[in-house]
Amino acid sequence: MKKDIYILAIESSCDETSASIIKNGCEDIATVINSQIDVHRKYGGVVPEVASRLHLENITMVINECMEKANMKFEDLDAFACTYAPGLLGSLLVGVEATKALSFVYNKPFIAVNHMMGHIYANMIGNKLEYPLLSLIVSGGHTDLILMKDENSFEYLGQTLDDAIGEAYDKVARILSLPYPGGPNVEKYALKGEPSYKMPKILNDELYNFSFSGIKSYINNLVHNEYQRGNKVREYDVARSFQDCVTNHLVDKTKKALVNYNLKTLIISGGVASNTHIRQSLNDMCNSLGVKMYMPPKKYCTDNAAMIGAAAYILYKNKKFALLSTNAKSNVKL
Ligand code: KG4
Ligand code: ZN
């Protein structure tokens, strides 16, 4: 009988300190997430220096809590994994050093995971994926369309030419004076609004790239012009008009890639993939094409260590272990 593989994974690339034990890449045994949002909210965004200090303060507690929750000992594990890139360097370093220390002390393999690979494989938790497939990542730093011909191959079809979609959500939140993190708050406003503001067309070309800086500036000008004229801004409608506009852009480009590459499966991931309107719109588009769509539960869309454990299992199977000299990196492509 095949032995079950248990991996302890750690995520600390931005403002969440998280640890998770994942069995065979698809079963979440225990996950703990310590979010720093309440601290960063005071500053209107993540302060890198504060983030790394908080990771350092919390990491041991988060790991111990995860081990207790799983009722396991370090000796029971098969490997230790963590996010090593991309992200905030000081934050990444905390997770990388903690994981390397565990790997050294317990003499088990160390696996260095790219954060984006983690987002993608969040879809593996509870699901068996069929390849080839199209992967859409929508997060605070990325908006990527990636063709995956098999489990461990990544061919970029398109990406954002400027800002990521999450950045645009966060900026619109700031324009509307909504607190950090902006995405969920803009979504709440959009739910109460109508798409009554006319929005510009975004990058309507034949390729698979995205663009979000134009719409961001458009909303900024719209709101400030209204204020300057002494007009009342219909904030719920601004949020709804913006959300409909960026969702249509995502749906159009994703549909184009699915059709042109004749793909039958779509997986979505990243923090913005927890947005109900975006999930629903992509799902409707996939249904109309006869494409099967997977989306992680919302708790696995925003940063978490369970997705890092799922990705680490693929690397484990392929014996892609990392050296203990591995360093954190702020920017590495898949
Ligand atoms: O994947 P993630 O947690 O971190 C990165 O790797 O970037 O994504 C964070 C981004 C933020 O920009 C946040 O505002 C956005 O995801 N986000 C959302 C929602 N929840 C989080 N955007 C729109 N609607 C949401 N419900
Ligand atoms: Zn992320």
> What mean pLDDT is predicted for residues 16-23?
98
How far is C-alpha 83 from the chain's CA centre?
12
User: What is the average per-residue pLDDT within 284-301?
Assistant: 98
**307-325: pLDDT as tens digits:** 999 999 999 999 999 999 9
Q: How far is CA 110 from CA 10, 80, 166, 202, 293, in A?
A: 11, 5, 31, 43, 32
For residues 24 and 94, give the distance between their C-alpha atoms in angstroms, rounded to a whole number: 26
Beta bridge partners of 10: 19, 82
What atom of ligand 1 comes closest to residue 164's alpha carbon?
A: 12
**pLDDT digit string, tens, across residues 24-71:** 999 999 999 999 999 999 998 899 999 999 999 999 999 999 999 999
Kindly give the distance from the C-alpha atom of residue 205 to the centroid of ligand 1, in angstroms, as a whole number: 26
Beta strands in the chain (DSSP E): 6-11, 16-23, 27-35, 79-85, 110-114, 133-138, 143-148, 155-159, 265-269, 292-294
CA separation for the pair 115, 82 (Å, rounded):
9
Average pLDDT, the chain: 97
DSSP assignment of 152-200 equals T--EEEEEBSSS-HHHHHHHHHHHTTPPSSHHHHHHHHHHT----S---
pLDDT at residue 2, rounded to an integer: 80
pLDDT surpassing 90 at residue 181 = no
* pLDDT(117) > 80: yes
d(CA 138, CA 257): 16
The first and second tokens of residue 54, run together, are 């908080």
Quick: pLDDT tens for 214-255: 999 999 999 999 999 999 999 999 999 999 999 999 999 999
List the residue whose alpha carbon is closest to atom 3 of ligand 1.
302
Confidence at 83, pLDDT banded by 50, 70, 90: very high
For position 177, what pLDDT does the model report? 95
- Percent of the chain at pLDDT above 90? 96
Nearest to 108 by CA among 2, 3, 5, 1: 5
Residue 209 confidence (pLDDT) above 80: yes
Q: Tell me the Ramachandran region of residue 28: left when phi exceeds 0, alpha when psi lies from -120 to 50, beta otherwise.
A: beta
Q: Tell me the per-residue pLDDT of 121-132, one tens digit each, with 9 for 90 and over.
A: 999 999 999 999
Write out residues with Cβ below 6 Å of ligand 1: 14, 139-141, 166, 169-170, 181-184, 187, 270-272, 274-275, 302-303
Residue 30's SS3 state is: strand
Q: How far is the C-alpha of 74 from the C-alpha of 72, rounded, in Å?
A: 7
- Given ligand 1 and candidates 18, 41, 138, 139, which is best to mutate, with the most ligand atoms within 8 Å of its CB? 139
Atom in ligand 1 nearest the alpha carbon of residue 16:
3
Can you give the pLDDT at residue 74?
A: 98
| Cis peptide bond N-terminal to 86, omega within 30 | yes
Q: Pick from 138, 144, 169, 249 the residue to mutate for probing ligand 1's pocket: most ligand atoms within 8 Å of its CB.
A: 169
Residue nearest to atom 5 of ligand 1 (CA): 140
